[in-house]
Amino acid sequence: MFIYHRILLCCFILIFFNTSHGQVHDPSWRRIINKQDKEWFASDEAQTIADNVLLYQRDIGGWPKNTQMQKLLSPEEKEKLKALKQSTDDVTTDNGATIQELLFLSKMYRATKNATYKEAWIKGLHYIFEAQYENGGWPQFYPLRKGYYSHITYNDNSMVNILKLLQQVKNKTDYYAVPVSDADVKRAEEAFNKGIECIVKTQYKQNGALTAWCAQHDVKTLAPAKARSYELPSLSGAESAEIVWLLMSIENPSEAVKNAIVHAVSWFKKVKIEGLKVERKFDETIQKRNTIVVEDDDATPVWARFMELDDNTPFFCDRDGIKKATLAEIGYERRNGYAWYTQNPQKVIDKFPEWKAKHYEKPSKKVKDAYNVTVAKDGSGDYTSIQEAIYASKAFPYQRVIINIKDGVYNEKVHVFSWNTHVSFLGESKENTIITFDDYFSKIDLGRNSTFLTSTVLIEGDYFLAKNLTIQNTAGPVGQAVALSVNANNCFFENCNLKGYQDTVYTAGEGFKQYFKNCFIEGSTDFIFGEATVLFDDCVINNKTNSYITAASTAKNETFGYVFKNCKLTADVGVNEVYLGRPWRKYAKTVFINCDMGNHILPVGWHNWKNKEAESTSFYAEYNNTGIGFKPNERVSWSHQLAKKQAKKYTINNILGNQFFENLNQHD
């Protein structure tokens, strides 16, 4: 018997040796894509595989998933793929599809400069643009398929992989070798930003506190959604980790993004599982390798793939969709065919202190003159962001704080607080010193007053002054989106561009006085609105759509509301039906004096906002205007054409007060 076993063992060794050395293990498609050998991508072997990749790409631009592109194709298989070119049935970004093929083609183009690879790559990029939902998310399959495939898909990092690609494109890195047009770079930036907005909006709130994300979210409600029978609405330890890792890579994150990261990391720390270890061991009972969970005090923390939405309890599911408390309770196939635990959140937790130090724990700066500082994007000034300079400014200073802003695009929300009085923003040039952001009503989504939280620049400190710069809200035609909000007294803006769509400039504060001189202000609906007394002098007022210029909400006892003197009213091409104003509140006051009105101004001039009472309580008037749009005889009967004597009272001192400039300059 002993000799028999010795012979059997020798035979087994010989067979194993021959088979292990004789057979050739084909490398996987993923391994081929991630080859570091640049020269290989110029080889005949690589180009043969690239031919396959081009064949598998559908006309719409994407690829099917789970395909070993490197496998040799017979003539018949190639013909079948050619016949499938127009099909869109299985085009997806799931399981790395499309993204990994684009990476391969990029490496091929870098090695060969073959224009065919470039064209295919650009087509794939356009497929990604096309597949994005308006709310910023991406489905698992596009064109859309019925069922869970249409959910916003974080599962298996589908959407994160897309955003990583777009991040490289928008940042113009050389990670992808294919040259991209400026238009596509802009589209990539817009798509990336919308995707990040979607991520922020879908972060799940548990008892009012932000936590993490589900593997998929409903495209309409944004709520956690079910996918396959064992993928129930839940909080995901695996996908959420990759989402946060992406958010932490953003160079200048918004407050919303930073808030999302902080809360997610807090949640990761809260729900980590200690004292358990996941192992794959040979099970004598079933004669197969089996996944088991064992107790181990020294085990590295793990996180469950699925956790309950209400209390973070881990759960496990078989294909019957019935929740189980432990992994051991589900069948062998699902227990071993799915990743139920992950360690990925640990890398986020480990990275978080460094990220927090960069974005929150700013080292104090020593400046030569605290009352005269410079902001420059390139680091040549005292600060690199405007808000950083404001944080460092003295409260209620005894002299004016001058913040010189060098040319550059400052993508940030700026808040001049009520204690930051006598602050000046002096831009290097109106055209190239740009403060920009893109918040809008439904993005803020904090109730009926969300408009007032959308502003790119919010001024609450009295005696504020700004010159030679642009303030804009680039959200576009998506509803209320304020560029400049001035809720302060004695504020002066000169030679500034103020750009947006709906609600561009909000002039707040009952009894407050504000002055805009030689400014360009553009928007669509009610793009100059509010209750302050404001003089617009020598300004260009440009309409982007057919709508209303002003929406004053002047207080009842105020003598003046909005006064436009020596202004030019213009409009974009095709705009031809614009009202001078309508009353946001019934005592609205708006007057145009010595203004040049384009032919886009409607003959009736004014609108009552469907409030008949406002016709007798509001005050809308004009004097000595010019241009095709000035048709005094056709104005609504309840508006006024001032007499010369009446117009004389509209002087700068009467409107703003004798002390306006004295108060503005008293600390200079």
Those residues whose C-beta lies under 8 Å from the C-beta of residue 593, and which sit 6 or more positions away, are 563, 564, 565, 566, 622, 623, 624, 625, 642, 647, 650
d(CA 256, CA 377): 22
Record the tokens describing residue 490, joined without a space: 């004695």
Q: Count other C-beta atoms under 10 Å from residue 16's C-beta.
A: 10
**Closest CA relative to residue 85, chosen from 104, 110, 59:** 59
Q: Phi and psi dihedrals of 548, rounded to 5?
A: -125, 140
218 is catalytic: no
Q: How far is CA 267 from the centre of its chain?
A: 23
- How far is the first Cα of the chain from the last one, in angstroms, to the nearest whole number? 107
Active site residue 503: yes
| Biggest distance spanned by C-alpha atoms of the chain | 127
**Token digits of residue 537:** 């002098």
- How many Å apart are CA 50 and CA 38, to the nearest integer? 14
Spatial contact of 92 and 98, defined as CB atoms under 8 Å apart: yes
Sequence-distant (6+) residues with CB within 8 A of 263 are 203, 209, 210, 211
Task: Report residue 256 as tokens.
Answer: 């919303």
Cβ(36)–Cβ(110) below 8 Å: no
Q: Name the active-site residue from 218, 526, 538, 572.
A: 526
- Pairing relationship of beta strands 209-210 and 205-206 according to DSSP bridges: antiparallel
Residue 504 tokens, joined: 């561009």
Cα–Cα nearest to 648, from 576, 565, 586: 565
Cβ–Cβ under 8 Å, residues 170 and 189: yes
Cα separation, 315 vs 18, whole angstroms: 46
Helices 44-56 and 75-83: angle between axes, nearest 10 degrees: 40
Which residues have CB under 8 Å from 467's CB, separation 6+? Answer: 424, 425, 426, 427, 493, 494, 495, 496
Among 89, 503, 596, 668, the one annotated catalytic: 503
Point out the residues that are catalytic. 503, 526
